[in-house]
Structure 1
């Protein structure tokens, strides 16, 4: 019976597997610290294979380096024994929601999510702390868990939490910030779908450096744009030289060849022109003539042909009909061309309602459907992106107090989501702050009936005791984020219900039951397992409790279930059913994806009952069985009753 590792995956092992797929002959074996055989790479042989393209250590090459980069990459690839623990009392609609709010260090959270969300996140939007050089403290942001790194870049607060003051006096002013970002971006990349995107908000201080490390991680060829966002038209009065009134948004695709923006408009004036709707979304009718010089009859001869229109304007054809009007792409400015060649027109003409012929000023004009879209610019200056009105004030009105400095405009996040995600996609924000991204996801779902899911991650950074947030009862940034989700969700649902009661003739009522405004709260913590679970041979002294159980005494069955779900690569949003079967508590995840029972002294009746469910995976506690004989019997019973089930223990 296999035993779960109860730790995050070793990304180095995955890299070795990828090398093995390309060059199987360079894979060899070596022994780990416990004397067990493991795969390794023969780098001398790999160098021979790649000899013409090698860059030696002393060779000059173009790259971004800084003190701490190697350690940062090593940490990104090293497994950790951390987990998430569910917090039902702070959640909303825990049993039915598919949204997640994770409270804790975002690097640890990203590592923990590796198996469950590998290649499943369509969009990552982050607004990380800007490296301004002011006396801003980042709790647990720049620090590593090892004590030597704490000594290197920070200190400890009164509760043992790591602090970092990133000021110009710090010798590693840029290096620390880059290390913090680098390891998080490296780990987050694997979570994206192959056609996914990441958008990173940043100011001028680290724009250049962030672009270089992002080019390295995502690939320069996958950089879509550096969008300039005018978030503060007035600028800042305290500026000595230029008053800063813009920020930037770096946008990358994971694979530029697979990624594709949605065909939508984001400028308010453009959106208003799409005043009709069909099953494919909003549209307007545009002239089928391309009246520009490059589209002249001479330049586009294949797009010059007659189109015949019936007298009642209901039928179109390219076949001659003496009873029909004959149209050519001609305007007062000269002879031009149709938008499509003849064969393409004939295919489009098969679509009912795609073309519209209208008689205007004694002339027949031809129009075609043009669905919502626009030419996207990398300068976003619309008023809706102003952070004061649609960030600070919006949040203040929602929570009745000014609780957060410089939140992003809600509509900035909505618009980047409109461009990048579909209705069932997952969106991740691991610098959640005031949870603008969660608000944007719910708002977008309410507008188009989508079922997008969010994953928010936020460290519980303490609010200043003198701040309005603290006085209002918000002791941490995470508390602000969770309350914003609760209130914004309630407001969005109320507005949707009100809209449903004021329908115009022909409009369909909105199904508000499908709008997910809930979220499951999880908090990062140490593993549920005692040291004896990971290093049984190294412990010289074991207590009686250690011998009886390898699980920490303060951990609940739901804690264990969560770590098992993560270990097995299942999504945390899956439905969980709790049943009492023959006196035992049994957890059933996603019907039969996983069945778990962590009770002591499990007998064969409950084993047979679980086997009858034909689950894909089953997990028990190792301590549930008296001895190896019982474990073997359990395996044999599953082989007989449910041979496809994989049985494991913790």
Structure 2
């Protein structure tokens, strides 16, 4: 009976396995720190496999590099012994909701989600720290050993020492920011669907570097667009040169060949341009200029209007159509000379022949999608005219991104959730188009300063503000629209594994420790804690239905019907095993200590072979 690993995926070994399938000759062996043989890559041979000439050594090439890049790549691939623990008391409608809120370090959260949400996210939006020298960013200590990282990574102490202020006096000002972003983007790419897209808000400080690392992570050919968002209207007169009033939103895809940008709905103003002054049976139309520049000789010719007036193209321009094509359009009543037949010719464009949606442009003005002031007003309205978070994004901005790229049942991820504008926008859009989009929010519990309005109002950290914003926004949307949508969310917190260290390093257990190791599971962990970690390792989504039943006096968990059945109680009897096997589960998990000996284990396997032969059996 196999044991579950109870840790995140080892992306390094997975990448080596993929390489072995393509280039088996570059795979070699070396010994790990304990002397055990492991697979490794001969990089000199791999370089030769990927080159059309003899590789003799390093040479200059076009690339983005910085101090700490290799460590950042290593950090992205390194597995961790972390899990998510359910927090039902902070959740809303736990039993029925499909939305997820994760509190913790987003690097760790992204690693934890790798199995359950691999290739499942349709749209990612993030608003990371802009690296202005004033905001806080995540500080990952690349000098730690693997063991130290596993013990300490993601822990925020009482003084908030996991965060630091990245001022421009720091010699690694750009490097630290790049090292923070790079592993998170690498992990995020794994979660995107093949037709998925990612939007990243940024300003002038790092947009150039962000483009370069996204080119590397997503591929330069998968760059989609840079949107310029007018975030402010009034100039700041204290600025010495220019008053910046825009931010950027860069968009990349996982596979540009198959993504769909659905376009924008036509506005009332756009619809009003269509009319039918000549009662054309093809319906409403609008007209466009028939001339264009520069001059093409064959498209310069006289046109005689119905009134007899002869008209040539304006100087430096020609007609859009050749003379032959013009005659065809004229005979088809597609040329308009004005109501009196005496105006310059224009080309009729029928509403029935144009796309229902408008291709979006890359300049987004505040009138269309809101600005920072609108975003602040929205947040204050939700929180009784109090300002708890600086520089939120307007709901209209996020809603437009979602309208362009998502549809019913898609999953949206935001792993720099902040005030949870993305969750608000998902609910608002679902209410408007009766959609069933789901969100996953991830936010580090960054402490609120003790002199802040938020702290005085009882919010200890940013995560608490985000969760409360979702609750209040949900209530507001329901009152205003009456829409029957998913207003709930399940809360999880990143925490250390449910398993004691002996589970991962049994060889380090000494004889004097045996009395304290009756169980390999931490004493403060519940069956639901264990269930979530098992679901994550087996790649099951956190939104699946979970049911707890009492069977023969034991607590048995059912996930998505019989997709997973788990019993973590001690003393599992043969009759209980029979009852579970009769449910024909796809997967089943027990505690290793539930079985008295190897004979009892073998008996369980034999029972399942007889009653449910297709069930996968694991122990922890």
- Describe the superposition over 1:203-235 as per-residue Cα deviations: whole angstroms up to 9, x where unpaired: 111111111111111111111111111101113
Task: Give the deviation of 1:395 after TM superposition.
Answer: 0.5
2:329 and 2:335 in contact (8 A); partners too = no
Displacement of 1:299: 7.2
Counterpart of 1:137 in structure 2 is: 136
Pairs within 5 Å for 1:249-268: 249-265=249-265
2:301 counterpart of 1:331: no
What are the within-5 Å matches in structure 2 for residues 442-461 of structure 1?
A: 442-461=427-446
- The one-character-per-residue Cα deviations of 1:253-298 (angstroms, maximum 9, x if unpaired) are 11111111013338674488899xxxxxxxx965499874676365
Offset, 1:334: 9.3
2:242 is aligned with 1:242: yes
Q: Which moved more, 1:552-561 or 1:239-248?
A: 239-248
How far residue 645 of structure 1 moved from its aligned partner, in angstroms, is 0.4
Do the aligned partners of 2:567 and 2:589 also contact (CA within 8 Å) in 1? yes
Secondary structure at the residue paired with 1:574? Answer: coil
1:41: Cα distance to partner? 3.1
Per-residue CA deviation, residues 471-516 of structure 1 (Å, 9 max, x unaligned), is 111111101100000010111111122xxxxxxxxxxxxxx43x00
* C-alpha displacement of 1:19: 1.7
Q: Is residue 155–residue 163 contact of structure 1 (8 Å, CA) maintained in 2?
A: no
Alignment of 1:353-502 (within 5 A): 368=352, 370-400=354-384, 401-497=386-482
* Counterpart contact for 2:98–2:543, Cα < 8 Å: yes
Aligned length: 577
Partner of 2:278: none
Give the superposed CA RMSD: 3.1
**Secondary structure of the structure 1 residue equivalent to 2:226:** strand
Deviates more, 1:14-23 or 1:460-469: 14-23
| Deviates most, 12-21 or 103-112 | 12-21
Confirm or deny: 8 A CA contact 1:72 1:183 kept in the other structure.
Answer: yes
Q: SS in structure 1 opposite 2:422?
A: helix
Could you tell me which residue of structure 1 aligns to residue 583 of structure 2? 613
Q: Taking structure 1 as reference, are residues 289 and 394 closer, same or farther at Cα in structure 2, changes over 3 Å only? A: closer
Q: Is the 8 A contact 2:227 2:248 kept in 1?
A: yes
Cα 1:638–1:403 change in 2 (3 A) is: same
Q: In structure 1, what is the Cα distance between the partners aligned to 2:512 and 2:538? A: 29
Specify the SS of the correspondent of 1:195.
Answer: strand
> How far apart are residue 65 of structure 1 and its match?
0.7
Secondary structure at 2:409 match in 1: coil
| 1:555 lines up with 2:525 in the alignment | yes
Which shows bigger deviation, 101-110 or 39-48? Answer: 39-48
Counterpart of 2:213 in structure 1 is 213
Alignment match, 1:349: none
* Cα distance in 2, alignment partners of residues 633 and 8 from structure 1: 30
1:327 Cα offset (Å): 4.8
Are residues 268 and 287 of structure 1, via their aligned partners in 2, closer, same or farther at CA, if it must alter by over 3 Å? closer
Residues 436-471 of structure 1, C-alpha deviations (whole Å, 9 max, x = no match): 000000000000011100000000111111111111
Structure 1: distance between partners of 2:268 and 2:53: 51
- Partner of residue 637 from structure 1, selected from 599, 607, 614: 607
Q: Are residue 628 (structure 1) and residue 598 (structure 2) matched?
A: yes
Q: Deviations over 1:23-63 (max 9, x none)?
A: 23434455544555544334444344334267765300111
How many angstroms apart in 2 are the aligned matches of 1:495 and 1:542?
65
Task: Report what 1:538 is aligned to.
Answer: 508
Post-superposition offset of 1:386: 3.8
Deviation at 1:12, TM superposition (A): 1.4
Q: Does 1:174 align with 2:174?
A: yes
The question of whether the paired residues in 2 share the 8 Å contact of 1:232 and 1:388 is answered with yes
After TM superposition, give the deviation of residue 562 of structure 1 in Å. Answer: 0.4
The separation in 2 between residues aligned to 1:21 and 1:271, in whole angstroms, is: 56
CA distance in 1, matches of 2:528, 2:143: 29
Provide closer, same or farther for how the CA distance between residues 420 and 268 of structure 1 changes in structure 2, counting only shifts above 3 A: farther
Q: State how far apart, in whole Å, the 2-side matches of 1:378 and 1:518 are.
A: 34
Q: Distance in 1 between matches of 2:320 and 2:584?
A: 64
Q: Matches of 1:266 and 1:176 in 2, distance apart?
A: 44
Cα drift, residue 389 of structure 1: 3.5
Contact 1:47 1:54 in 2 (8 A): no
* 1:344 corresponds to: none
> 2:376–2:391: 8 Å Cα contact kept in structure 1?
yes
Gaps of 5+ in 1: 276-283, 307-325, 340-365, 498-511
Alignment of 1:178-189 (within 5 A): 178-189=178-189
Distance apart, 1:304 and its partner CA: 5.0
Distance, in Å, in 2 between the alignment partners of 1:249 and 1:539 is: 51
CA offset at residue 517 of structure 1?
0.8
Structure 2: stretches of 5+ with no match in the other structure: 276-281, 292-318, 338-342
Match of 2:566 among 596, 604, 608: 596
Contact 1:594 1:617 in 2 (8 A): yes
Q: Distance in 2 between matches of 1:406 and 1:496?
A: 27
TM-score under structure 1 length normalisation: 0.82
